[in-house]
Structure formats: structure tokens, C-alpha cells
Amino acid sequence: MTNLIDIKGVTHAYQTPLGPLPVLNDLNIAVPEGEFCAVVGPSGCGKSTLTRLIAGLMKPDRGEVWLHGERVTGPRKTVGMAFQNPVLLEWRTILQNVILPLEIVAPSLPKKDREARAMELLALVGLEGFENKRPSELSGGMRQRASLCRAIVHKPDVLIMDEPFGALDAFTREDLWQTMHELRAKEPFTAVLITHDLRESVFLGDQVIVLSGRPATTQYVLDVKFPGERVLDGLYTPESSAMLHTLREQIQIAQGRAEPGQAA
């Protein structure tokens, strides 16, 4: 069986005035179709570089990125992106913002169909009735919901998220985790989520990949066995605690604060 996302031996360095700065070193990630892959790691370890590589916005120095059995050599229309900053266009309404990718990917699709598709997603994330508002009239959480709709409106097979919930308050963030699960139930996509929040990685991910400090390599892969249904209460069970504890240990190792086997 082939994986939808296959990152094989990717090594990358940025050229800086002080010489090359290696950020990724022999990184390997495999995500089967429909799976949700959460990536955690210390600050500045090259997680955002990873998203740009998968999206085809950058080429790695060495190694290969494969999507759907095709080697990534440039941007593809089957990718959706969401960032920590929702980057909604202030001069467009929420509805027109969500439609934006369709204008690029499916320019021949009638306006009526585009709007219907966008409205369907907006309803799914609880933004019905806000479609004609401007982004500045919405709260941070609502804007991020709209941003997620925009990222999947063109039915991408890969959704790449770079800390999309990072700037939200804790309760709004938990709301959006639920929304994420509801979206996944209705819209099939394979997802890569970059995050700093271990609870988020366990609650959303089917696998959690811990990257080492810079230059980042795959340090640890956690196969998430979420106890029961994916509801928030599930995070407060011994099984979840054990997983979170393992991840905590791995992060400390990645930060260079503990040796393998002796982390507290």
C-alpha cells in the first residue's frame, strides 16, 4: 500500500550570510491516505520548512517528497494550506474569501456552484449567517474557521496546517479541535498539522511525529491509540496521560535537556 504523503530522506539547509544553516536532516515521514499526522518539535526546528516542502513551495536540497505517488516538483492544485495567521483578505466578504481557491483551481465552475460549495463548508463550521461579513467583523476563532474552510474548499487531498490554532485562547482552541473532527468526518483529506500543543497533537492526530532539534530529523513516531471516541474527556484518561507523558519526554530529549532513558 502506498502512502499519500511520503517524505524520504529530506535534507535541507538555508543559505545565510554566515554560511549554510541546516534545518532538516534525513527526515522521513509517511502518512497513509486519510490519516491525520501531527508534527511536534522544539521551536525553530524547521517545522514550517516542512510545510513549504510538502506544498511544493520549496525544493529540498536532498531527498524526495511524494504526494499520491507523484514526486513533488512544484505547487499542485490538490493542496490546501492554513496558517497561524488566518490571512483572510479584508476587502472580501467571508464567502468571497472561502471561494478564492476555486477561482484559481476551477475558474470555469459557475459562480452559483462555487458559492454553494463555500456555504456548505461555512455551515459545517458554524459560520452560517456570517457569510456576508468582513473578516474584521469576526472574532479570532471565527476567522480561523473561515480560513479552514478556504483551505479545503477545492477538495484538496492534502491539508497542510502550520499552527492554525496557535494564536487562539484555550477554550476556542478546544472548540476548533472538535470542528476539525467534524470536518474530517464529512470531508476526506489527509492532513499534516504542525503544532506546539501536545494535547492537540494527541487529540487530533492518528500519528504524532516528534522532530529533533535543528537540524530536524524524525526522532520519534507515536501511534495514537485514543481511548474511545475523540471527545475532550478522552484526554483525561490514563491512556492519554501516558501518551502525553511519552511525548513530553521526547520533546525534552529533542531540546537537549534529557538523555534518552533518563527523562523525568
Q: Can you give the binding site for another protein, defined by CB under 8 A?
A: 52, 55-57, 74-77, 79, 81, 83, 85, 87, 89-91, 100-101, 103-105, 134, 136, 150, 154, 160
Smallest gap from residue 115 Cβ to another protein (A): 17
Distance CA 142, CA 229 (A): 25
Smallest gap from residue 209 Cβ to another protein (A): 21
What are the helix and strand counts (H, E) for the chain?
Answer: 7, 10
Smallest gap from residue 78 Cβ to another protein (A): 9
Smallest gap from residue 255 Cβ to another protein (A): 27
Distance CA 246, CA 62 (A): 31
- Residue closer to another protein by CB (options 52, 181) is 52
- Residue closer to another protein by CB (options 29, 79) is 79
From residue 112, alpha-carbon distances to 104, 149, 150 in Å are 16, 17, 17
Smallest gap from residue 66 Cβ to another protein (A): 17
95-101: which pairs have CB atoms within 8 A and are 24 or more residues apart? 95/119, 95/122, 95/131, 95/132, 97/135, 97/146, 97/150, 98/122, 98/146, 98/149, 98/150, 98/153, 99/153, 100/150, 101/150, 101/151, 101/153, 101/154
Cell of 180: 476539525
- Residue closer to another protein by CB (options 160, 253) is 160
Q: Cis before residue 215, ω within 30 degrees of 0?
A: yes
- Residue closer to another protein by CB (options 79, 176) is 79
Cell 529533533 locates to: 212
Smallest gap from residue 83 Cβ to another protein (A): 5
Smallest gap from residue 54 Cβ to another protein (A): 9
- Residue closer to another protein by CB (options 135, 213) is 135
Cell 492526530 locates to: 205
- Residue closer to another protein by CB (options 70, 233) is 70
C-beta of residue 79 within 8 angstroms of C-beta of residue 25: no
DSSP letters for 218-231? EEEEEE---SSSS-
- Residue closer to another protein by CB (options 4, 243) is 4
